[in-house]
Amino acid sequence: MSTNSIVVKDLRKTYKVPEREAGLKAAIKSLVARKTKDVHAVDGISFQIEPGEIVGFLGPNGAGKTTTLKMLSGLLYPTSGELSVAGHVPQKREREFLQQITLVMGQRSQLNWDIPAIDSYDLYRAIYGIPQEQFTQARDEMIEVMQLKELVKKPVRNLSLGERMKAEMVGALLHQPGVLFLDEPTIGLDVTMQRRIRAFIQEYNQRYKATVLLTSHYMADVQALCKRVIVIHHGKLLFDGDLTALVERFSAQKTLVLTMSDMNGRTPDMAKYGTVVTQEPNRVVLRVNKSDAPQVTARLLADLPVTDLTVDDPPIEEVIESVFDAPETSE
């Protein structure tokens, strides 16, 4: 029996892209001698995901995340490298492999827009050969969890973006896949919808021990679901490890939030302690180098009537930005 692990070794995908100068002369010239250039969408990444793990797959636009997900789901043939998903080679697109995976793309709909989602679910039942009883139970449970009871009876085109995404998630998981590739599943959704989708993914993962590889630009998704993150940029792997280790490694600064007792109208010069982010009469937010944080904290406590002081890491979005700005070194 195959497990739901994902193994990626030195994976590469290179596209040949036509290239020519602007203008009529260049257009005519390109008819005779067509120039192409190689674009390395994925450039030698390796990682392994154990069964049941939820891993955040992060990177800016064009980093190679979707290309990687498409290769993992068998939609793209790798230029080189080795892939194994649930014991199968994805590019062979074997029936058994396709039964075990799902790929949800937040910006693309798989449901038929003209009919209610509940009718599309019936087609999925036939396609995946799900026994009727098992199908009805799984469908009704998921509809219940996603609070879609009335909505699945409406044509999909009449649903809001969030409602449609919930219906898409149910459709994508009806065959109870062991490996989930989720590409921006919460894109464009309001906070409540995002939270519901997250809860659904978490519950599915716990219940079926499914392996999840998730891309999202919303760090709230990543923080809520992923203990581990893989960061890629320009097709290369920049980081693979715990989210906390990512913050520890790439966050060069700490945020100090001070609350002070009444200063009798006196405004202390806070700039000498670090970079002032905000300053109110009794509350100051400072940004200091991580290595200086202990000394600065001690000085603040000695110099000022501090009633409360907290030391935090910067927001995860800022940390991720600093990862993208860091020199490219794979590990």
Partner 1 sequence: MQRVQGFAQRVKASLQVYAVGARIAMLERLQYPLASLMFMVNVLIEPIIYLVVWSSATAAQGGAVGGYTAGQFAGYYIIWTFVRQFNLAVGPDSFNWRIKNGSLAGELLRPIHPIDIDLGWNLGFKVMQVVYWIPIGVILWLMFKPEVNPQGWQLLSFPIVLMLAAYVRFFVMWLVGLICFWTERIDSLIELYFAAELLFSGRLVPLEIMPVWAQKIAGYLPFQWTFYFPIELLLGRVTMSEFWMGVLAQVAWILAAYVGIRLVWVRAVRRFTAVGA
> What phi and psi values does residue 7 have, to the nearest 5 degrees?
-125, 125
105 binds partner 1 (CB under 8 A): yes
Task: Report the candidate in 223, 215, 218 with the shortest Cα–Cα distance to residue 246.
Answer: 223
Query: Alpha-carbon Rg of the chain, whole angstroms?
Result: 25
Task: Report the candidate in 210, 207, 309, 205 with the shortest Cα–Cα distance to residue 254.
Answer: 309
**Among the listed residues 4, 5, 68, 73, the single contact to partner 1 using CB under 8 A:** 73
Burial of 331 (0-12, 13-18, 19+ CB in 10 A): exposed
**Among the listed residues 126, 267, 278, 327, the single contact to partner 1 using CB under 8 A:** 126
Instruction: Give me the least distance between CB of 17 and partner 1, in Å please.
Output: 10
Closest to partner 1 by CB, 108 or 299: 108
Instruction: Give me the least distance between CB of 298 and partner 1, in Å please.
Output: 56
128 binds partner 1 (CB under 8 A): yes
259 binds partner 1 (CB under 8 A): no
**Among the listed residues 101, 219, 296, 320, the single contact to partner 1 using CB under 8 A:** 101
Using CB under 8 A, which residues numbered 4 to 63 contact partner 1?
15
For residue 4, give both structure tokens: 């739901």
Task: Report the candidate in 157, 175, 163, 150 with the shortest Cα–Cα distance to residue 112.
Answer: 157
Q: How many angstroms separate the CA atoms of 223 and 102, rounded?
A: 22
110 binds partner 1 (CB under 8 A): yes
211 binds partner 1 (CB under 8 A): no
Q: How many angstroms separate the CA atoms of 144 and 152, rounded?
A: 11
106 binds partner 1 (CB under 8 A): no
Task: Report the candidate in 90, 3, 1, 105 with the shortest Cα–Cα distance to residue 52.
Answer: 3
**Among the listed residues 74, 178, 274, 314, the single contact to partner 1 using CB under 8 A:** 74
67 binds partner 1 (CB under 8 A): yes
91 binds partner 1 (CB under 8 A): yes
**Among the listed residues 70, 88, 164, 198, the single contact to partner 1 using CB under 8 A:** 70
115 binds partner 1 (CB under 8 A): yes
DSSP-assigned letters across all residues of 260-278: E---TT----GGGTSEEEE
Closest to partner 1 by CB, 92 or 266: 92
Please identify, among the stretches 50-58, 102-110, 202-210, 312-320, the one whose residues bind partner 1 according to the rule CB under 8 A: 102-110
Closest to partner 1 by CB, 76 or 316: 76
> What phi and psi values does residue 169 have, to the nearest 5 degrees?
-60, -45
Q: How many angstroms separate the CA atoms of 164 and 155, rounded?
A: 10
Binding site for partner 1 (CB under 8 A): 15, 67, 70, 73-77, 91, 93, 95-96, 98-99, 101-103, 105, 108, 110, 112, 114-115, 119-120, 122-123, 125-129, 155
